[in-house]
Amino acid sequence: MIAVSVTSEPLATDAIVASLGADGDTGAVASFVGLCRGEGGRLKGLELEHYPGMAEAEIERIAAIAKDRWPVDGIVAVHRHGLVLAGEPIVVVAARSRHRDAAFDAVRFVMDFLKTNAPFWKREHLLDGTFGGWIEAKSRDDEATARWVSG
Amino acid sequence: MIAVSVTSEPLATDAIVASLGADGDTGAVASFVGLCRGEGGRLKGLELEHYPGMAEAEIERIAAIAKDRWPVDGIVAVHRHGLVLAGEPIVVVAARSRHRDAAFDAVRFVMDFLKTNAPFWKREHLLDGTFGGWIEAKSRDDEATARWVSG
Amino acid sequence: MKLKYFAWVRERIGVEEEERDLPAHVNTAGDLIHWLKGEGENYAYALEKADFIRVAADQKHVRHDASIREADVVALFPPMTGG
Amino acid sequence: MKLKYFAWVRERIGVEEEERDLPAHVNTAGDLIHWLKGEGENYAYALEKADFIRVAADQKHVRHDASIREADVVALFPPMTGG
């Protein structure tokens, strides 16, 4: 089971992880929540622009690669767009499997590829209501993605 | 913040992860839940024997090593003992950090070391109410632990 | 062909999307970027770091040397920063 | 010295814990295991795979070549299977 969605609504983290379900063979659930940082109180939040349609398709493609690569029985990934306030979740990724390595690897793989390949762009939303700059892509994110190809 | 406990009560996974808290700099929460497998309906659950006192101390020691090794702002780990029914969580480990790599690494490190170094022993509890065998330690768990030392 | 722009590429060009007839010599994603750069100051500014620009053809990432002539929709955007 | 046993080591020896005066020649964790193996069939059975047995002195893991004479409590148990 792979379930992907992109939404402008606040993410209900616990419900998203629970939507993975479980069966008698589930021994491991790994999950990750990426949160909007306030950067020392400077930010009201982040505005996330996305490419509707491609954003969902790209995350699904990444999740499908993870599911082929590791013995996981389910992967769920939900990503927000629009204004995300400091402290709120931006993304939730979770996987379940029989043994822990597969769930750990699948979640981290999806997060790493999602960062570099899912069409979202973050812009700072300052406390005074104006927009700050666009967030720049980090070379360490490209390196994190490359690790899965060479490794 | 490091919070460790060992309990005979069912684990409230969401509350345990939430107990990590967050501040304006928290950008990542990674978590792991290890569940009791039913092994195709053969098991009622697992009986977990532990060494009271040492179990908590050893998990705390492992969490402290993780907190020294990676820039995480909090680690929480809760482990059950006694009878754990199939489908119930045995262990919950979560960490929060500014960037995702630290939280991912810390949780996986704690899980890997907990498997090989925390004094718990699992025994099968069969559907008919009798005890099955003691679960044997897996060489792949020793290898997972060794990876953090050589890597 | 429908062209779509995102993030600061969109801001600098000044439109979210537009229909364009491509000249015959525009075959690859790289050709498209190069050609658009000559279409006005806004395009030149948006696409000045041509190597940096990412391209999707019909919602799939493509390299600059990939042909995009058969695509219905081509999107140009900066490196992604989701997650 | 208080000795504690867990899991199948406990089952095979037949007690959870006991007080023992160690002979003078028992210095290391390995010495302790070797000496206990001579204390009866139950001990011999529980500790037959001596290299396999894990030892904690005052709730800290120790190697078989570590001295345990200063410890108040020494525990013997199989490889752990928690998590």
Residues A111-143: tens digit of each pLDDT = 999 999 999 999 999 998 888 899 999 888 988
pLDDT of residue B151: 53
Q: What is the ipTM of this complex?
A: 0.94
Q: Which residues of B14-39 are buried (b: 16+ CB within 10 A; e: fewer)?
A: eebbebbebebebbbbbbbbbbbbbe
Closest CA to B63 of B125, B118, B141, B133: B118
pLDDT of residue A1: 94
| Contact yes or no for D83 and B111 at CB 8 A | yes
Q: Is the pLDDT of residue A151 over 80?
A: no
| Residue length of chain D | 83
Query: Which residue ranges of chain B lie beneath pLDDT 70?
Result: 151
Cβ proximity of A112 and A147 under 8 Å: yes
| Closest Cβ opposite residue C81 in set A55, A57, A120 | A120
| Residue length of chain C | 83
Closest CA to A45 of A118, A114, A122: A122
| Contact yes or no for C7 and A57 at CB 8 A | no
Distance, in Å, from the CA atom of A49 to the CA atom of B88, rounded to the nearest integer, reads: 40
Neighbours of C77 (CB within 10 A): 21
Taking the CA of residue B54 and the nearest CA in chain A, the distance in Å comes to 24
pLDDT of residue B89: 98
- Average pLDDT, 10 consecutive residues per value, chain D (83 residues): 98 98 97 98 97 97 97 98 95
Min mean pLDDT across A96-110, B125-139, C7-21 is at B125-139
Taking the CA of residue C21 and the nearest CA in chain A, the distance in Å comes to 22
Q: Please return the burial class of A27, using the count of CB atoms within 10 Å of its CB with bins 0-12, 13-18 and 19+.
A: buried
Closest CA to C33 of C42, C23, C44, C41: C44
Taking the CA of residue B98 and the nearest CA in chain D, the distance in Å comes to 26
Q: Which residues of B102-133 are buried (b: 16+ CB within 10 A; e: fewer)?
A: bbbbbbbbbbbbbbbbbbbbbbbbeeeeeebe
Q: Tell me the CA distances in angstroms from D38 to A106, C58, D34, one per residue in order.
A: 51, 77, 7
pLDDT of residue B41: 87
Distance, in Å, from the CA atom of C43 to the CA atom of C33, rounded to the nearest integer, reads: 9
pLDDT of residue A118: 98
Cβ proximity of B76 and B17 under 8 Å: yes
Q: Angle CA(B70)–CA(B73)–CA(B75) in degrees, nearest 5? A: 85
Q: Average model confidence (pLDDT) for chain A?
A: 95
| Contact yes or no for C56 and A57 at CB 8 A | no
Mean pLDDT of C42-54: 97
| Contact yes or no for A87 and B22 at CB 8 A | yes
- HEC assignment per residue over B78-144: EEECEEEECCCEEEEEEEEECCHHHHHHHHHHHHHHHHHHCCEEEEEEECCCCEEEECCCCHHHHHH
Cβ proximity of B108 and A103 under 8 Å: no
Q: Residue holding tokens 């939730």? A: A92
pTM of the model: 0.95
| Closest Cβ opposite residue A121 in set C4, C61, C77 | C77
Q: Tell me the CA distances in angstroms from D57 to B118, D1, D54, one per residue in order.
A: 14, 11, 10
Closest CA to A24 of B84, B37, B47: B37
pLDDT of residue B140: 86
Q: Which of A121, A124, A145 to mutate to test the interface with C (most CBs of C within 10 A)?
A: A121
